[in-house]
Amino acid sequence: MFEKLQRLGKAFMIPIAVLPIAGLMLGIGAAFTNPLMVETYGLTGILGEGTFLFYVLSTMSAIGNIVFSNLPLIFAVGIASGLALQEKGAAGLSASIAFLVMHTIISTILGFLGHTPDTTSVEYFLSIGLDPVEAAKQANVYGYELGIFTVRIGVLGGIIVGLLVAFLANRYYDKKLPEALSFFSGVRFIPIISVLAISIIGVIIPFIWPYIHIGISTFSEFFGRTGPIGMFFYGTLMRLLNIFGLHHAIYPLFWYTSLGGELEVAGKLVQGGQSIFFAQLADPTVTQFSAEATKYFTGGYLPMMFGLPAAALAMYRTADSKNKKIVGGLLFSAALTSFITGITEPIEFTFLFVAPLLYGIHAVLEGISYAVLYALDVAVGVTFSRGIIDFTLFGLLQGNDKTNYIWILILGIPTAIIYYYVFKILIVKLNLKTPGRGEDSENKLYTKKDALLKDIDIEEVISALGGRENLVDVDACITRLRVTVKDTSIVAEDSIWKEQLKAKGIFKMGSGVQVVYGALAEILKNEINRIK
């Protein structure tokens, strides 16, 4: 299960990887074409309607918006190609075809059942006696996908298509058919079997989705009614799952599906927290972003921009005097990465393995951040992570009236103080071996240059993984080498990875192995795949 979840998380990252640039284009385009901002700062002559920059920025906004408007298809193709072990291109193409077929079949079945745009509207449900709330819920079950009248299965539909096609591609990529049908063997069989399989699912969905949709909406409402308490547990859990890289398999469900809520924006029902935010960002009539939508990610700004940099300062201040010069630059670099980009693993993994208690406290503090910012109605959006870049684009430039971003700045200093003193006191009182403390402390964060030139021998890494014959699949995320092996019992122990192979740590579960290497992970993956 661990191995499958880590692969799923990695597959999720493929479609998600295109979203930061789309979000940046939408954020910049929407911010600098907003009439209120243009008039407030007297920029009509430069950015006003009809100017060259207005056309450029409007185009950027449209490009970003079209990506977020078609996330279901993007997820279908991305997951299918990401999970396919062979013939990834064929899997991606098959997923796009299957996605269209599924919604076409759903639309056809809805027609047979008498469900049309007219008989699924709020007005129709009101006319047959439903109360306004129930009428809205029933109407929200139905909508459009790529111009096809269908059920609002959204990104979840894309995930279903992606998973199914990947499974079929991995099973039938080398399928041999009888001689008369040999042309359709192998890779050509993938779209055929995908269409046949998704057709069955397409027939079933119209009968069961209305009940599933209502159930998800009810659960989402229940989760919302838990208020700050619910967000505390969500934020804490996501940070703990980050240890194993499994958060990638969970948070997209809240960011891009109806599990993260539904809201009508510009006359269109939008599902998922991040999707709602960017739909509102593209709508110039929105005067305040929905904190109900952004509650699944805004809480990360306080620990990423203020908390962890302060923790890095605490580790520096508690380091042995002789080591401060060595660890100072490294910790500063990791802290700056967290502050600017919101990428936290370089700094988190400096204390996760040597002082897991600190990581547990960090997770709790992040949960509190989620709860507090949600309670204060803060609604600052996110592309990929929560650093000063995203804060500027989706907080400062959007204005406090829309986002309540001021609370992040107000609470930033108290957050930093809490992190600093909690970390400093615990490090000193418990004599925790954070970077620079003790004779045998590791006083470096490993760089690409270290690995490529002298520190890591690829053959030794492969040997530590049990040898070439033990490798099934080698992949990587931002900071971890993710490997599926035949036998984890012959994978080297943690001490060997740390002392000889310069890793920060290793996780083994089922047939999945994750080795924490920071920015080296992608390089090592490429090198292992090149020579294995």
Q: How far is Cα 298 from Cα 382, in angstroms, rounded to an integer? A: 7
Q: How far is Cα 382 from Cα 377, in angstroms, rounded to an integer? A: 16
Per the rule left: phi > 0, alpha: psi between -120 and 50, beta: everything else, 438 is left
Q: How far is Cα 107 from Cα 118, in angstroms, rounded to an integer? A: 14
Q: What angle do CA 143, 144, 150 make, to 5 degrees?
A: 70
Write the CA distances from 500 to 333, 447, 492, integer angstroms: 24, 16, 11
Q: How far is Cα 529 from Cα 532, in angstroms, rounded to an integer? A: 5
Q: What is the DSSP string of 353-409?
A: TT-HHHHHHHHHHHHHHHHHHHHTT-----SSS-SHHHHIIIIITT-HHHH-THHHH
Q: How far is Cα 348 from Cα 360, in angstroms, rounded to an integer? A: 11
Please confirm, yes or no, whether 477 is among the known catalytic residues.
Answer: yes
Q: Which residues contact 219 (CB under 8 A, 6 or more apart)?
A: 259
Does residue 250 sit in helix, strand or coil? coil
Q: What is the DSSP string of 221-236?
A: HHHHHTHHHHHHHHHH
Does residue 240 sit in helix, strand or coil? helix
CB atoms within 10 A of CB 116: 14
Q: Which residues contact 500 (CB under 8 A, 6 or more apart)?
A: 460, 464
Pair 476, 522: CB distance under 8 Å: yes
Closest CA to 390 of 309, 277, 283, 288: 277
CB atoms within 10 A of CB 89: 11
Structure tokens at 88: 């990834």
- The catalytic residue among 57, 477, 483, 491 is 477
Pair 327, 443: CB distance under 8 Å: yes
Closest CA to 518 of 446, 459, 441, 453: 446
CA distance between the termini of the chain: 25
What sign has the CA pseudo-torsion 363, 365, 366, 371?
positive
Backbone phi, then psi, for 215, in 5-degree steps?
-65, -45
Residues annotated as part of the active site: 477
